[in-house]
Structure 1
Amino acid sequence: MAFSSMTGVCADELQCIVCLELYEEPITLPCGHSFCKVCIEQHWECREEATVCDCPNCREVFPIKPKCQKNVALAKLVEKTKLVPGVNVEKTKLVPGVNEEKMKLTPGVNVEERRCTEHGKPILLYCKDDESLMCVMCLVGQHTNHKVVPVELVHDELKGVLNAKCPELSKSKQHLESQLHQLKREVEQTQDSGKGTVDRMEKKRLALYQYVDKSVDLMKSSVIKRQNEKIFLLQKQMDKVKEQLNSLQETNSTLKAALQDLETISFLQGYKDVIKRLESVSHFQSPKMAQPTELDFSKEEKNLGSLIVLHENFLKNIRKPVELQMSELDQTSLRRLYGRTPSLDPNSAHRRIKISRDLRTATRTETDNQFPEHPDRFDFWSQVLSSDCFSSGRHYWEVDVRSSSRWRIGICLNSMGRKGGGNECRLGRNPESWCLRKYENKYYTRHNNQRTHVLSMPWDPERFGFLLDCEEGEFTCFRDSQVLHVFRGNFLVPVKPAIGVYDDDDSVRFCSF
């Protein structure tokens, strides 16, 4: 098989399948196949039906004789091939089956993968404009006037592009490995930091009489909780860094494999995937790294030494532990640390509110449901409370609102009114309730009949999150980890999650974790 470095093609690919010689004044039929002008004319003249013209290659029939125009691009390739030293035109005749058989016998060569899917010819060229592999027949048509080069040339060029990415990838890998090492070290320090404090607390337990058990248990819980919360965040950073590191390592392996791939076509076929992977890892952002700090429990130990004097006042201090700042927590963290799924209280549901069997969904119905009389039941507003009641700690839950267009979701004191249509019984209209509200496709927050905030949202969220921090006196409304509003009040008295649904067939649901 004679190959021309000048044209980047094999002379065999420039042969007419009728005369089996290099094209003489080549023309291209509408089906895309090319022939010598004389050959195709003679082929049509020999047909029994002189009015019928077909393609000798694909046998497509043309009802009207095609207008045969010279294929200038193909003619130029033929002329260049004739000028190449060492190319014997007489020896370039195609022997049916020979070229295909040679390719079949070549180790590692898949004939179908090496041929153009459109023309069935061997892939020998690469179009830089379209970044695609092509055969010589592809020069006619959509690749006309494109920048086309032999695959061997672009192979070296694109390998150079991948080689240039190696230093950057290696630098990113080293940076992430360093971060992972630092995080592991801080986890170990955090795990060790509370050990001595807990042991010393145990030694002082015997001298603290009736307040000892309760106080020490509270303080140990505070120490362990702070450790766990910090370890949780550190572990989360580690997981992210490990994920990025694994992705970099996989990309690095893919890159090395591509660079070691000496086989041209398979390299070019996988080149785009390698580039995409390199681009994806280039967007990695390193997690924010705080300066390594050792947890300080000196306050707990000092307070423990003066426990006998402080008595009940001391208990009030240790009930308010030093906890993570809200800015450090996203909704995924809140679900894991404080997540719960409240249950609806059927005895509080208005007669138009139907409760699902799992006590999670409240649906507004067109007619009254046959509920028994109960002192906790709302008799005017279509609202329902949770059976869960909170007065200490942190509690986070989410509500699915995709099936409702008008609702109120929040919390209320257990003492809020239930009977009558006055504001004392409606969520957000009295001092005993706090809620997020959707009305006429707008969102508001309400407390004590005051619309405290108007929320602008580019789309309707499917769910909202709510965090109740009883000790801090905060009730926070979230959308996709974004804090929408923070209510402040005295939540050390019992409060309950609450829902109001006001349009028939609408429903809202407490999400399960």
Structure 2
Amino acid sequence: MGTKPETSSIASVSADLDSREHGSKMDLRNMEFEPQLFSPSSFNNNLPPKESPTKDEPPFVRATSASTTSDTESGIFSVESELCVEHESELDWFCISEQKLICSHCAIVGSCHGHSVTQLTTRVTAIRNQLVDVCEKIQLQAQRIERFVNHTLAAKERALQTEASRAREHILAQGSRVREALEEEEQRLLEAVQREEERVEEGLLTQRSHWSRALSGLGQTRSRLVHVLTHMADAQLATAGQEITERVEEAEGVGHPCDTDKLNLNTACSDSKLLRGLWAGAVLLGPAAYGPADLQFDPRTVSPLLTLSEDGRTVTFSKRHPRDSPAYDPARFDHWPNVLGTAAMSTGTHSWVTEVGQSGAYKVGVCYQSMERKGPGNGPRLGYNDCSWVLSHYDSDYSFCHAGKNQALRVVRRPQRVGVLLDWPSHTLLFYEPDSGTVLHSLTHPFSAPLLVACAVADRSATLLE
């Protein structure tokens, strides 16, 4: 380690300075220098030779004022070759204030009088020690980096490969299980549809055979009656009542054909909770789960009991009728607190989410454009006619409503938002909770006309989310 600087009175040179500097004496004992700047051998230029490091010394050996290296070795400056231009003395001191080499006269009576100065050997020793510290720190830093690269990063890489392998196995296992279940369900449904198709085909063949025979018999009966009518003499016709009666009874016994549901494919054979759940999950987790950005409520349909926001996406219930009733519009609901969407849906797949918050009374769903709008009856009341399908919440009860029939729903937690999914190709309507993806209710219905977003609010507000 470096030597500790000591304070010097530099009295050994005062006599020489008395004869060379203006012939006057100077009291150097009272000059103020920083304690770290001088040592007792401040102006002693006879330095001992540099000692060679022993075998026990560490890689970095700290320099001392008694073991400094030459210019060529240190690469900093030369002690022997530099002389002060002003005093022609050796530059063996360093001015910290001006960061330059000086001689002892510069420090005592020269331009650097009063500055912070230190011996050159002390300065060099401090710099070398500082460089040793820096090199040691760099070496430690390099060792830390090397350990990080060789140990930490290598361990991370091994862990990454292990975790990625596990994740792949997990995905493949889950995907395989889903595909397996889906293939089994798909095969079961296809077989069910095949059986149903064969049943209906058999019924159709039976009906076709029966009515073909009936049609042939009717043709023969008619031909006989026509023959009796056109070729039988009056006397024979008068006595042929029995034959005519038998032919008429034979024709009447054929009966009239009538359609029956037994001749239709039972669509329930293709209904699968598993398949519907997988399909709904694929749709609901997609980017269109919250519906189109331009989905709004139609201001023409807003009930006087509701207030529509400026953006057309929020309706708020008001218990009091407004003083100024809105202008008459055949599209407006005038009694029930209903509102409909602007866009009709008759193709493709559609989904949207309604924010219901803490509302204690609301309905969300769809309805035909032809739904009634006026009066207090069930015609314009959502869920109480054949034109509307809604999920209804009142107080603590949840139900699905259509044609005046309420089907109670089991809801585990009160949803703050209710999603609706309409798939027109499969005629599927599904209500779900977006936060958990839980299906609240689903049904299949052969919708026969374009549908509109439908909503009713009797407490607080409801908002169509983007």
TM-score (normalised: structure 1): 0.40
TM-score (normalised: structure 2): 0.43
Q: Which has the larger radius of gyration?
A: 2
